[in-house]
């Protein structure tokens, strides 16, 4: 596509066309890549932004936006392991993800188990981050209470001085998580709220390992 179309017009076209079973890839990761690449191509702002929900010790869910940084046999993102979400995901290694591509009347939902990525994967990604973000990973006790912004800026200045003139190493408390999906749902908005919803579920008895079902809107 040579030019970014008007997203309002494109949204209407997608809603009118809908989503049919025959159009779906047999593999949900391939289907996700198709939708993700399309969202990127038409200029959707930050299609990699996703909502990750975890569960705390008290059974309460909590959600936040993070950025998708890898897609292989799972959805990969990076964070501080000692943050609120990091502690919850370590204690209860399950998560839900939502990609809210509202301007395209599309949504992708993921539910699955959580694991840390390897240290090598975290190291490799950390080297690609801007230096300021690398220093910030050392300076911020993510999710902890601060007595004021001045304290945070002082910690940042301290870390900046510590690594002056040298490469910033990855902090041991910082790295990636991978969400391995058990279910992935693709939602396409339609007129009159008669939306199209298709769910992929892990099923070893099915060719390809995924069962595909249409859900009522």
Annotated catalytic sites, by residue? Answer: 193
The tokens of 44 are what?
Answer: 């959707």
Distance CA 176, CA 126 (A): 10
**Angle, CA 75 vertex, CA 87 and CA 85 arms, to 5°:** 15
Q: Are strands 106-116 and 210-215 parallel, antiparallel or unpaired?
A: unpaired
Q: What distance separates the 2 farthest-apart alpha carbons in the chain?
A: 60
Helix (H) or strand (E) holding 161: helix 149-162
- How many other C-beta atoms lie within 10 A of the C-beta of residue 127? 12
């Amino acid at each position: 596509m040579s030019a970014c179309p008007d997203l309002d017009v494109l949204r209407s076209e997608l809603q009118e066309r809908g989503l049919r079973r025959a159009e779906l890839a047999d593999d949900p990761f391939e289907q996700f890549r198709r939708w993700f690449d399309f969202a990127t191509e038409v200029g959707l702002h930050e299609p990699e932004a996703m909502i990750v929900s975890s569960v705390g010790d008290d059974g309460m869910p909590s959600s936040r936006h993070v950025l998708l940084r890898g897609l292989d046999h799972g959805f990969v993102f990076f964070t501080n392991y000692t943050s609120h979400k990091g502690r919850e995901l370590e204690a209860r290694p399950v998560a839900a993800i939502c990609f809210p591509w509202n301007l395209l009347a599309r949504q992708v939902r993921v539910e699955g188990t959580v694991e840390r990525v390897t240290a090598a994967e975290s190291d490799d990604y950390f080297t690609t981050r801007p230096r300021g973000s690398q220093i910030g990973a050392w300076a911020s006790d993510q999710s902890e209470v601060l007595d004021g912004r001045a304290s945070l800026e002082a910690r940042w200045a301290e870390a900046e001085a510590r690594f002056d003139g040298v490469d910033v190493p990855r902090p041991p408390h910082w790295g990636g998580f991978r969400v391995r999906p058990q279910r992935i749902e693709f939602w396409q908005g339609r007129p009159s709220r008669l939306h199209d919803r298709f769910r992929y579920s892990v099923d070893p008895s099915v060719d390809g390992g995924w069962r595909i079902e249409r859900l009522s809107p």
